[in-house]
Structure 1
Amino acid sequence: MTSHVPFLAVRPDAQYSSEVTTRDFADTNGIIDMETVRDTPAQAARALSASRVPAVVKFPLLVLLTFSLSSLLYSLVADFTGPELASVSRDLSAGWHIAVMVGWKLVELGIAWYMRFDYSDLAWLTLLSNVPHYFLLNTFYGIDYLAALVPLFIDVSTIAIPFALLRGMNRARDTSAPKTVNQAVAQDTGIQWVTGLLGASLYALVVYGSFYTWLPQYMVVHFDGLRSVQKAHDTTQFLLLAILGPVGYATTQFIFLPAIGSAANPGLTDPKLKPEKVPFNPETATFSETLAWNLGFSEAGFSRRAEILAKRTFILAASAFINTFVRAYVTIEGTEIVGAIGWASIWSLAAGVTGLAFSWVGDE
Structure 2
Amino acid sequence: MADRPPPTVAPRASRRARLPSFVRLPMLLILNICLQSALWTGAENVLSHELGAVSKVPRPGQEQEGLGELTEPIVRLVSKIALVSVAWELRYDYFDIGALTAVINIPFAFLLTTFYNISLLTAAAYVAIEVISIALPTYLLRPIADINNPAVPIRNRYLLNSFQVSWSNTALAVGVYATVLYSSLQTNWLTIFLINHFDLPSVELAHDVQAVTFIPKLLTAGYATKAFLLDPAIGAQPDTGAVTPVGPFEPATATLPQTLKHNFWFFSRRTRTLIQRSVVLSTFLLANTVLRGATLEGSEIAGSAGYAGVWILAANICAAWFVWTGDAEP
Smaller-chain TM-score bracket: 0.7 to 0.9
- Report the number of matched residues: 302
Are 1:110 and 2:85 matched, yes or no?
Answer: yes
Query: Counterparts of 1:1-364 in structure 2 under 5 Å?
Result: 48-81=14-47, 83-91=49-57, 94-180=69-155, 182-213=156-187, 214-224=189-199, 226-264=200-238, 283=251, 286-291=259-264, 301-329=266-294, 331-363=295-327
| CA 1:147–1:242: 2 relative to 1, 3 Å | closer
Deviations 1:238-257 (A, max 9, x none): 22234212211111110101
Q: CA RMSD of the aligned region, Å?
A: 2.5
Matched residue SS, 1:87: helix
Deviations 1:148-180 (A, max 9, x none): 111211100000011000101111122112231
Amino acid at match of 1:197: A
How far off is 1:282 after superposition? 6.1
How far off is 1:91 after superposition? 3.1
Distance 1:143 1:237 in 2: 19
Distance 1:178 1:104 in 2: 36
Distance 1:238 1:205 in 2: 11
* Conserved? CA contact 1:139–1:231, under 8 Å: yes
Amino acid at match of 1:130: N
* Conserved? CA contact 1:118–1:170, under 8 Å: yes
Amino acid at match of 2:303: G
Gaps of 5+ in 1: 1-37, 39-43, 267-271, 293-300
Distance 2:104 2:37 in 1: 20
Deviations 1:65-100 (A, max 9, x none): 011111111111123336111000113792112111
Distance 1:360 1:279 in 2: 28
* Conserved? CA contact 1:202–1:354, under 8 Å: yes
Gaps of 5+ in 2: 1-10, 59-67
Sequence identity percentage: 34
How far off is 1:360 after superposition? 2.0
| CA 1:212–1:282: 2 relative to 1, 3 Å | farther
**2:4 aligned partner:** none
Structure possessing the higher radius of gyration over alpha carbons: 2
Amino acid at match of 1:168: P
* Conserved? CA contact 1:141–1:228, under 8 Å: yes
* Conserved? CA contact 2:285–2:308, under 8 Å: yes
Q: Which moved more, 1:134-143 or 1:186-195?
A: 186-195
* Conserved? CA contact 1:120–1:160, under 8 Å: yes
Distance 1:166 1:116 in 2: 11
Amino acid at match of 1:319: F
How far off is 1:291 after superposition? 2.7
| CA 1:260–1:116: 2 relative to 1, 3 Å | same
Using structure 2 for the length normalisation, give the TM-score. 0.84
Distance 1:273 1:232 in 2: 57
Deviations 1:230-273 (A, max 9, x none): 2112222222234212211111110101011124389xxxxx99
Distance 1:302 1:54 in 2: 34
* Conserved? CA contact 2:237–2:269, under 8 Å: no
Distance 1:91 1:97 in 2: 13
Deviations 1:44-63 (A, max 9, x none): 8xx62212223321111111
| CA 1:159–1:228: 2 relative to 1, 3 Å | same
